[in-house]
Amino acid sequence: MKRIILSILALSMIIFQACKKSKTDEPVNPNQVNYALSVTGGTYPNQTTYLFGTHDFPTGTLGTANANESASSGIIFKYGKYIFQNNFGAPATLKKFGFDETGKPKELGSFAVAGLKTIGSVDFISDTEAYATVAGYGSVPKLIKFNPTAMTVTSTIDLATIQRTDAAELYYQGLVHRDGYLYMGTTYLNKAGDPLESKLYVTIIELSTGKVLKQVSDTRSTMIWNGGSEASFQPNSLVKDASGDIYVMGYAFGSKPSGILRIKSGTTDFDASYFFDLNTATGKPCFGILYFGSGNVFTVRFDDAVAYPFDLDANYNSVATCSYYKIDLAAKTTSGNISAAIPKFFGNDAFATSFGDGKIYFNAAGASSNSVYSYTISGGAVKKEFDLASGGCNGFAKIN
């Protein structure tokens, strides 16, 4: 009997170790795609966006022979191991991609909303709940709610209460969620394309009811110009820090500077005691917030104010004049340009991303080169990592 019991125990240990090994020691697929990139080439309106994946961290000069091509400009968002891509133009369409072992994108689902323009910002709440704004000309009074797993539109949120009859255009710029609310940058323009009022607006939506709670405004800066979300790569107009404070980026226009305002955790109003004047701190107008935790916050500085914010000189020619500046949100100061080694780039093509490897990766789409640089968090060393042959990179993600 003792021998039988010992044999059963030994067999149990073998089975346990086999199960343990199958769960913890599975070999990594050597052919899986670990990185995804999006590149846009050409000149508007004749542009092509290329989406492709790589097994290893990119090096050298990347081509697009294995890419999925879209005949327009486009940007990407990352959620989990998937890439979500929008493209410029109607109908408003969002596509979800995975990648095969060759790095070729595989479309896993999509939705299009007839009558709407381009999808702008996308904010993911969970595997089954996400929100998308609609960008482009035309005041469309709705926000899209969708299931990112099934890629189906589940409902829309009525934005009729924030429409204005005196506004020629209305833009929904940037999303961030906190405490059951969705914060959405809102911009009203007149017929000349200028801010309708010298104010910055944020619309607050209650997610449990799917209704607009209220809209808050501030006169210390002007409109929200750029979009973005926690899932995107471009400089954001709204970011949330570790304590839950939301920082909002305003655009420089007229006598108002580019600046950052705050909505403190636990409140839904602008903090009257906080304003970070970026024009004064950096000496020039700035564009967006790139947030990677306390001590690692950046903005895009237009070294030539004439080019702000369209990357155009006085004769309306494209010009690359921008630098990445490191900023301190608490002290409301800047330590300046992160590196003179990064050439001047087009601000509207700026982005940054981080993979938890002690580095932040910055895009530099310049007049004569398109490259991605790394910035080492400890010490601030900057190094060019790779070039892109077909255009400027607009998204770089680690998906596995």
**pLDDT at residue 6 above 70?**
no
**pLDDT at residue 29 above 90?**
no
Q: What is the pTM of this model?
A: 0.91
Is residue 323 within 8 Å of 339, Cβ to Cβ? Answer: no
Query: 205 or 89, which is more confident?
Result: 205
- pLDDT for res 266: 97
Least confident of 35-44, 110-119, 288-297: 110-119
Mean pLDDT, range 339-345, rounded to an integer: 98
**pLDDT at residue 21 above 80?**
no
How confident is the prediction for the chain on average, in pLDDT?
91
Is residue 387 within 8 Å of 370, Cβ to Cβ? Answer: yes
- pLDDT for res 28: 55
**pLDDT at residue 384 above 50?**
yes
Mean pLDDT, range 228-254, rounded to an integer: 96
Q: How confident is the model at residue 90 (pLDDT cuts 50, 70, 90)?
A: confident
- pLDDT tens, position by position, 216-228: 999 999 999 888 8
Q: How confident is the model at residue 115 (pLDDT cuts 50, 70, 90)?
A: confident
- pLDDT for res 11: 36
Least confident of 14-18, 157-161, 195-199, 389-393: 14-18
Collapsed DSSP state (helix, strand, coil) of residue 342: coil
195-198 contact pairs (CB < 8 A, 24+): 195/222, 195/223, 195/251, 195/253, 196/164, 196/166, 196/167, 196/168, 198/222, 198/253, 198/254, 198/256
- pLDDT for res 9: 37
For residue 383, give both structure tokens: 């190094």
For residue 102, give both structure tokens: 């060759």
- pLDDT for res 31: 75
